Structure formats: C-alpha cells, structure tokens
Structure 1
C-alpha cells in the first residue's frame, strides 16, 4: 500500500468511526461503538507516526494528494486535497495521539453515561475536522476544517445539553468563535482579491513580489498584506482564545473532562498557531500584522497567568494555563520564531493533555468534586495520578538545567526556553522583542506559582474532603447523577456505583481504573522526553533539514540562529523566575498552610479583580449582550410591532374593524330609519339636480 493511500485512509478513518457510532450506535450498542471509533483513531495515530518518522528520519519529500474538486466557481478553484509537509506531519502526530488516548481514557471516564455512542461520534467527528484542517492545501479546505472543529466543539461542550450551564457555554463558544471567523473569512477574501488564488502552492511564491502593495481606503493607503494578515489573525484569536476573544475558553470546562483535554490541549486551540506558522510567507512581509500577533500573544500570556492565580476549580486553572501557553506560541510566531512556536505546540500537547486528563482522574477519584479547596492529602490515595500530575507540572513549569552546549529537562523546559531565547534574540529585528521576553519571564514565574499551588492544594494540604459528608439517600438529586466528574441534569440520573454514593459518612477518594491510567502513563512519556528527543529537529542544528521549506523565513530573519547565542543570564532567567514562583507557592501552601485561603477570604480589590477574570464577562455582558438585546428589542417592539405591523397589516386590520363596526350601527332593522335615509337620499338628489340645472 502506497504512503499516499495510507495517509488518505488515516485522515478519513475518524469520519468513518463518527458515522458508524453516530448513525448506528443505538443498534450496535455502546461497546461496539467505542471499539470502532477508538480502533480507527489508533489506526490514524499509527499512520501519523509513520509519516512523522519517515519525515524526520527517512527524508520523506513533501507531497499533495488531490482527491476531488471541492468548489469551482469562475477563477475560484478549490480541490479537496491532503498536503503533507513538516507542519502537517507534526500536527497529524499531535492530533491523532491526543485524540486516540482521549478515546481510550473515555472508556473509563464515560462508563456510566447513557449516550456513549453519541459522545464517541462527536470525538471522532472533531478529530476528522481537525485532520482536514491541518492537511488542507488551500484556504477553502482550511476554512472547512476550521468551521468543522467549531461545530464539533459546540456539540462536545454542550454534550450534556439538558444542563443549562453546558448549553450556555456551548453557545458562548460558538458565538465568540463566529466573531473571529468573520475576520478569517474576510482575510481569505482579501487574499483571493490580491492574488487570484487560494491554493497555497500557487500563493506563497507570489507574496514577495507584492510586498508594499497598498490599498486605498478612507483617504489612506494601507498595506494590503498587513490587512490580510490582521484579518486572518483575527480568526486565530477566536479559535486560540487570545486576549479579547478568550472568554469562551474557561466556560468550555462545562463539557466532560476528556473534551477539555482534546479541545484545549492539542487540537482546536492550537489551530490558530498552526495557521499563523503555515502563513509565515505572508507574515514575513506583513510587519504590522506580525507586531500585532506578538503584542497580543504577550498580553494573553500575562493576562491568563494572572487569572490562573485566583481560580479554585481545578479544570479552570489548567484552562487559563492553556490560554497563557498559547500566548507564548503566538508571540514567538510574532517575532519570527515560527519553529519555536511549533515546538512549544508539540510539547504542550503532551503535558497539557496529561494535566487535563490527570485532573479528570482527580475529579473521578473525588466523586465529581472540582473545587481544590475541598481536596488535599490525595497523594497516598491516588499515587499514579499524583505521579503523572507531578510530571506534567514539572514539564509546564520548565524546570531543567540550561546551557549553550548542554541542557536537560522535561518537555516544556526545552520549548518554553526556546521561545524566550528567541524573543530576546528578536530584539534586533522586532521592536517588541524585549517587551514579550520580559512578559514571558514574568508569566513563567506566575505559571510556576499556580501550577504548584494546584499540586499542593490537591495532593498535599490537610484533607478537606474528610469534613464533607457523602451524599446520602436524602441528598439533592444532582448529587447522584454524574458519570464521573461533572453533574448532569436530574433526568439523566444513574444508579449508585462504587464511588460511594448512597451511604452515610465521608467519601474516601480512590484511584482511577487502569483504562484511564494507561493514557496518562503514555502521555507522561511525551511530557518527559518529547523536548529532549526533538529539540535538535525543531529548533536545533537540524531545523533546516526538518522543516524543509514548510516554514518560510525572510532573508533578514535569523531569530532561531541567534537564539543559540544569547547571553548566559538569558538562559538562566526562566529557571530563576520559575524557582521564585515555586518557592512562593511552597511558602503560602506548605510552610504557611491556610495563609493564602485567609487572604482570599478577606477579599480585596486585587483578589476580586483576578478571581473575576478582569471582569471581562461582566463588561462584555453590558457592552454586547445587553446592548444587542436592547437593539433587538428596539427593532422588534418599536420597529416591527409598532411601526411595521402597526401601520401595515395590523393597522389596516384595525381600521377595517373600526369602520365595519360603525357601518354596522347603520343597519338597525327599523323601517323608519331606512325611510329617513331614503328621504335624505332623495333630498340630496333633488339638490344636485337643481344645482346642475341652474348651472
């Protein structure tokens, strides 16, 4: 079997699984639906690793498989195709590895849910849309995959659709992403207007020749490439939850935890980073757009890290951590270090999926409790979960041994330090290089603090769960209706299980089943070794051979090369700030246990500001939600009901009714009334005749 055919089968296998589970799940049953979808995902994963291995070590050349015409209207030509190069090979591995392990993990996590075929169908549909996105050979297929993951994420976030908060979160994610997607669509239109093509192979070689081309608007000349780059980046801002369009991300935690791992670790939220790196030929010649990307990424990294300090829901802490790490990737791409951005995307997939699924294991063991203030002392009761969460935390905090010739650490150490070193080196090329470097340093310290805060509150502090009594037979209905982690609506209840429901006394936390632990152990390998194993290929000595033109850098862009020659203090600075953040967490949550809680309970403006997420939801509610509702009421109640209906059909009907009612009074039924009317008529006729005769 040729590699081209194998790749085609690997891309479409999740779609087949989604169709089988979605259309025939109720007939074939839960286990066959799970087996089909999971088996096909592992097949796609094997194909992805085969392609990645041949690309990395076997010198595979880029190729495109054209499958069928997609949309052909005049000069607008789009074909359904599968493009394989370094970028798509990396994304294939990331998407299929995380998705296949999430499928396997969900066998245990969703074991009691009564809609498992639907859940697994949605997971596979999401994965297919993501694979279509990362293998697209033109903007049209890219947009198809872009919207496909948006639709699938809406279905997954609102999977428990009878739960009001889940439905609201799904709608919010869908609407906020539509804002970004509107900009993305305008960007595609701008590219087609400029170049007359949306095919990447035709487009990229033409960009350099159009550098500096202007566009007249409002009496000003605007850079057309910058315009296209900014519009396309607006799409990335929505999909990757960047500052201003980030508000959907934490609310998306209403979906089942496997969904959080799939969407927020390695797939949907990284689509924007992938798109910016794919379009490096545009951004290399669009300095204003690149500057906007770097500034937005830096602000996002800082904003999300500050908010993560004050969150108590274990999943929301990790969600804001995702938002912050995406900021790192974007500011790396903004300063021209696309390779470093993709390297962090690659390593982040392993340790963030590990942290999300590890959090799901904690929630499962804690009988669907997500508040870290009600946890503590779990390291002895959940030893495997504790071990993998420690690995994920070490990876994300970037603890390691820095150096020019030798460096060693877990995955996040290599990729995050590469971004910071590139940002410092970019000071010679980008006016915001030092700005994002210092923001990244500060965010690294905050990341260490809230990451270790999560570990200490969850696993090491005094057990708070011993004081929370189990749900007894008289408990509120929602206490008995969770599959594993998040409560379901009352009419989706399940029988009591071995989690301890239905008896009196405190519930004792327990370790998760092995079907959930095996994916955690496999992800741990990636969180430990992916940085060390692939550093040289992504950003090291072999980066030119690895990327092979998939990422374009202009003749003046030497950021990656210069990042290896930064001063020694730049190498050690991330470790120092991470150590400071770690020691601060130790002080507040170990040495002075309870101090941070007492400070939070006293409140204060800073705590309120951070715990309320900079009040973005409240501001958006006033400006957009209530504003849109008021505008809608104006058009509806005034424009439609009073003016259009009032003067139109309703007004005419009202006038007819009133006229008919008055005319009806004339028909009294009395003969003398009719005789009087006839007399008036005769008198009128005589008067007219006399007048006409006299004239």
Structure 2
C-alpha cells in the first residue's frame, strides 16, 4: 500500500499538466476522459488503500512514503512526504470518490463551454491540492496544499470571468481566506519557534511535553490555527465569501462544499487535536464559533430565494456543527458528519445544477415549481439529499451523524445546555428551510418551462449519491439503539474518545427531543409554503418582520459592516496616498528614463548625412582623446 500512496495525488496532477499544456488541441471527449479518468483512477487507488487499511490495519497505525527531498535550511529538513492514517483515509476516500462523481457529471454539464479544458485542468489541480493537504506528513507541505485549494477556488469561482460579478466573487473569496491563511502561517512560525519541527507527528508528540495546559503560548498557536480553519471553512466572522462563491459553475460549488476547500478547516483542527486539547479556552472558542455559525447561517438560509445560496448557507451551518463537535471534544462525531455531509451536499448541488440548466439558467426558487412530475428522478434524488440534510430520524445518513453532535454538545465534559439548545434550534431551522426548498421547487404550478432533460452522465452520479445519502450513516448507530460503531472504531486509532460528564440523563430523551424538533421544522415549512401560503406573505407586510427578513437575507449585514469599517476607509486612504513620497521617487526615475530616451532617439532620425556626421564626430573625439592622453 505504501507504494500506491503517492499515486493518489499524482494522477490528478498529471491530468492538470496534460490539460494545461495540450488541452486546447484535444477533443472534448479526450478532455473529459483525461479530466474525469485521472480522478477515477485516484478513487480506485483510494478504495484499495481504504479496504486494505480496514481489513488489515498497519501495525504502526499508518502507511507512509517519502517522494523526494524538498529543501534544507540549516538543520531544518523538509521532504515531500505522504502519510495516511485513519483520519487521512476517510478524507482521501471522500475527496476522490465524490470528486470522481462530480467530474463525471461535469463532462456533460460543461460540454458546451468554450473553456472545457481549462475547467477540467483547474478541477484536477483542485483535487490534487486537497489530497496533498490531507496526506502531508508535515505542515509545510500541508500549507502548500492549503494555498493550492485557495488558488483553485479563485480560478473556479471566477471561471466565467467575463461577468464582473464573478470576478468580484473570486476576489472576495481569495482575499477573505487570505486573512485566515496569514494567521495560520504565523501559527506555523510559532510552532517551529517553540518545537523546532513542522512534522505533524512530532508536533503532536512534543506539544504536551513542551507546553503546559492552558498556557498563553499554546492558546495563541491554537487560535491562529483556528483562524486559518475559519477562513477556509467559512465560519463566523470569515463566512461572507462562501454565498458569493456560487458564481462558479454548479460542479465547482459541489466540489468546494462537499469534498474540498470548506472541509479543510475541519481537517486542520482534527489533525492538530493534541494542540487544541492543551488549550481549554481555544476549545471553547471552537465550540462557540461553530454554534454561532450554525445558527446565523441557518437563519439566512430560511429567507434566500436563490437555490444555490440556500445550499451555500446550509453548508456554512453544517460545517458549524462540525466545529461545534470539535470544540466539545467529539472528534469522531465531527468527522462522521463530514463523511455523510459530503454525500448529501454534493447531491443537492449537482441536482440544483440539473434544475438550473433545465430551466434556462433560472436560480430563483419562486420561478420554479411543479418539477415533481416533470423531473421525477431529480425529485427523488433531491428528496433523499434534503431528507439527509434535515436529519430525518432513522432513515437518512444525516440523522446518524448529526444526532451524536447534539448529544455530545450537552453530555461532553466541554459541552453545556447552551450549546445543545443552539444546536437544537439549528436543527429546527435546517428542517424548516429544507422543507421550504423542496415544496417551492417541486410542488405547485410550473412557472418556467423545462428546456431539456439531463443525460445519463448527470443522472447516474445523482442516483449513487442519493443511495449513499440514505445508507452511509448505517455504519455508526447511536449507542442506545444498536451497538454498531464501525466508523468511530476506525477513527479512534487516531483521534481521542470524547469524555462524558457523570450522571447524565437518558440519551433516548435527547433523541426524542431532536426528532420532535426536526418534525416541528418540517411541519412549519409545510404549513407556510403548502397549506397556508398567505401567512408568509402577510407576515412580510409587517415592517418589523420585513426588517428581520432583510437582515437575514443580507447575511446579517456582515458585508455592509466590513465595507463600512474596512473597505471604504482603506480605499479612502489609498486615494489620499496615491501620490506619496515614494511614488514620486519612482515616478522621477521613470520620467528621467523617458527624457533620456527622447534625447537619444534624436540620433535615430533616418538621415544618412546625420549618421555620417555622427560617425566622423565620434572618430575625431576618440583620436583627440588618444592625442591628449
């Protein structure tokens, strides 16, 4: 298995290189075969490694390979080294398997785009960067992958760059994530300053030996790493880039939200669990950030009218659940929700892409409707993804992964009733806006005629993801129902078990409350958008309700606040400083060169007589110098 490890990121990289160099000369069939084929090969290799890892676990708990020596600075040696343990295996499986389905879907979805090769080249590089990030055995290589996914997100969000709004969205994503990336880079410097290594396993081993629990140094390092994770995973207050990132093609949205980019922060915190565990304050902040994010994003998702923005806010909210789980020490619960979320969120975005394409690029859900009968396969698959998102009890993967988070938010030693109630309210909001989305899009009268139906390349990935959205959660059941913990048993090789409070109430009581909360959200959505639609309209006529509605729809006004506090003052300063002292120095150098150019160009006037005079003058000048000297 060690020999196969390097091939997982190598094939997507190969696809990127081939398509970048020769893509314009290749047929679209060959482009699709290269782009999707290389990811499929990586997915097969990942499945082989995962199967071997589960059936015959390595004695050391991991497999590794060193590809080559990268660089040496004094006694600091960095290699291109890959390491796969239980945590990495879960991530590479999701990245390659879900990524392969998205690439197959893209082969048809992007078929008529003039930049077909550029799209697949960027997608392949995206997958390669994410694979490097999760397989890196040192933080330098991890940071290379980290910046790689940032670059690729910029390229793909702004893929249709002829539209100014798309360029703005790409720039916004790039700049906001840079804030977190800068903080993370400072954290890496502090780690090296204190431990003299950036090898991940050495850090996890040395950190408890060199830092006391709760010390200011380890807390600062953990918070800087958290800031990096908040930027990539779109957590409050660095979440504003993700809704605008919907400017990219639907396959890009699916890849960013399900298998790459936004899950990078979850991976970073989980991977550096020993560092975070040494700082109770940092752990509490991780939990609070997740709780606040899931609630704010859930409120915003309730009132959006763009189908992709609803799903975008949903992703922010669901990643918030993962951060909440990480913050209370439920490491495996967070990764399990990442696992199931990848399937149903990829499904929802791909299905949304089918709907948008079929309805002549219509994004507004209130201009859709009636698709239940006209697009039955899309309806059934979308329903499976929506049910999983709403965590419909016992029949969807979303329930099996979200239920432990709700339980541990209360029962963990680091949990409390406030975190649990916030997560419970978020579950209610999720069920509500998911029901609203389903009813408005698929029930009622059709408001936009269907232009064309999708082909098999787009439908088959939906069916596969729909099946997994229902069944993927069956590998991990609640402890009080069935003792089946295959997923957590695998991850406990790498991640600590959650510590529970003593004398806890019955878990079944919390499950019953969560189930009733989910059904209450579904019932409210059904009433307001199917049975008594006039209620929602009449409520919006109230100034106070309309004000709250607009606040939620604007994403709680974060963009307006940042523009007023940071963007406009910065632009004002740049306008004042446009002709500062240093600019005058460089302008003076440029002006001097221009004047010298004009003076010397006088000799190049095209007159043979002037050229002869110049040669004679030069010769006389040289002879005169020789006579004088």
CA distance in 2, matches of 1:202, 1:353: 35
Residues 195/451 of structure 1: CA separation in 2 closer, same or farther (3 Å cut) = same
| Matching residue of 2:25 | 27
Deviation track 1:325-362 (CA, whole Å, cap 9, x = no partner) reads: 00000010011001000000000000000011111111
Residues 117/585 of structure 1: CA separation in 2 closer, same or farther (3 Å cut) = same
Kept after mapping to 1: 8 A contact 2:8/2:131: no
| Matching residue of 1:671 | none
Quick check: 1:244 aligned with 2:237? yes
CA distance in 2, matches of 1:77, 1:441: 48
CA distance in 1, matches of 2:245, 2:503: 36
3-state secondary structure, aligned to 1:309: helix
CA distance in 2, matches of 1:566, 1:80: 49
CA distance in 1, matches of 2:586, 2:487: 67
| Matching residue of 1:567 | 507
| Matching residue of 2:368 | 375
Quick check: 1:550 aligned with 2:494? yes
After TM superposition, give the deviation of residue 58 of structure 1 in Å: 3.0
After TM superposition, give the deviation of residue 7 of structure 1 in Å: 2.1
After TM superposition, give the deviation of residue 619 of structure 1 in Å: 0.9
3-state secondary structure, aligned to 1:207: helix
CA distance in 1, matches of 2:354, 2:503: 39
3-state secondary structure, aligned to 2:303: coil
| Matching residue of 2:404 | 418
CA distance in 1, matches of 2:328, 2:340: 20
Q: Paired residue for 2:283, among 281, 284, 290? A: 290
Residues 650/546 of structure 1: CA separation in 2 closer, same or farther (3 Å cut) = closer
CA distance in 1, matches of 2:477, 2:106: 31
Quick check: 1:191 aligned with 2:174? no
| Matching residue of 1:348 | 341
Residues 632/48 of structure 1: CA separation in 2 closer, same or farther (3 Å cut) = same
List gaps (5 residues or longer) in structure 2: 594-629
- When the two chains are superposed, the root-mean-square deviation of aligned CA atoms in Å is 2.4
Quick check: 1:439 aligned with 2:436? no
Deviation track 1:84-135 (CA, whole Å, cap 9, x = no partner) reads: 1001100011101111111100112111111101101111000000000010
| Matching residue of 2:601 | none
Q: How does 1:146-295 map to 2 (within 5 A)?
A: 146-212=146-212, 223-295=216-288
After TM superposition, give the deviation of residue 213 of structure 1 in Å: 7.4
CA distance in 1, matches of 2:119, 2:463: 24
| Matching residue of 1:85 | 85
| Matching residue of 1:40 | 38
3-state secondary structure, aligned to 1:69: strand
Kept after mapping to 1: 8 A contact 2:330/2:405: yes
Quick check: 1:318 aligned with 2:311? yes
Quick check: 1:459 aligned with 2:457? no
Deviation track 1:154-175 (CA, whole Å, cap 9, x = no partner) reads: 1000111111111110010000
CA distance in 1, matches of 2:469, 2:257: 16
Q: Paired residue for 1:8, among 6, 16, 21? A: 6
List gaps (5 residues or longer) in structure 1: 215-221, 401-407, 466-506, 654-695
Residues 652/33 of structure 1: CA separation in 2 closer, same or farther (3 Å cut) = closer
3-state secondary structure, aligned to 1:379: helix
Kept after mapping to 2: 8 A contact 1:424/1:563: no
After TM superposition, give the deviation of residue 384 of structure 1 in Å: 0.5
Deviation track 1:148-199 (CA, whole Å, cap 9, x = no partner) reads: 0000111000111111111110010000010000001011111111111011
Kept after mapping to 1: 8 A contact 2:234/2:241: yes
Q: Paired residue for 2:533, among 593, 615, 633? A: 593
After TM superposition, give the deviation of residue 533 of structure 1 in Å: 2.6
After TM superposition, give the deviation of residue 70 of structure 1 in Å: 1.9
Stretch moving more, 324-333 or 432-441: 432-441
3-state secondary structure, aligned to 1:328: helix
After TM superposition, give the deviation of residue 398 of structure 1 in Å: 0.9
CA distance in 2, matches of 1:213, 1:451: 42
After TM superposition, give the deviation of residue 365 of structure 1 in Å: 1.4
CA distance in 1, matches of 2:390, 2:489: 30
3-state secondary structure, aligned to 1:5: helix
3-state secondary structure, aligned to 2:168: helix
Kept after mapping to 2: 8 A contact 1:381/1:511: no
Q: How does 1:657-672 map to 2 (within 5 A)?
A: none
Quick check: 1:610 aligned with 2:552? yes
What is the TM-score of this pair, normalised by structure 2? Answer: 0.89
CA distance in 1, matches of 2:208, 2:551: 46
Residues 600/55 of structure 1: CA separation in 2 closer, same or farther (3 Å cut) = farther
Kept after mapping to 2: 8 A contact 1:424/1:566: no
After TM superposition, give the deviation of residue 67 of structure 1 in Å: 1.0
| Matching residue of 2:607 | none
CA distance in 2, matches of 1:547, 1:635: 54
Stretch moving more, 158-167 or 535-544: 535-544
| Matching residue of 1:627 | 569
| Matching residue of 2:54 | 56
Stretch moving more, 132-141 or 538-547: 538-547
After TM superposition, give the deviation of residue 649 of structure 1 in Å: 7.8
Count, aligned residues? 587
CA distance in 2, matches of 1:228, 1:127: 28
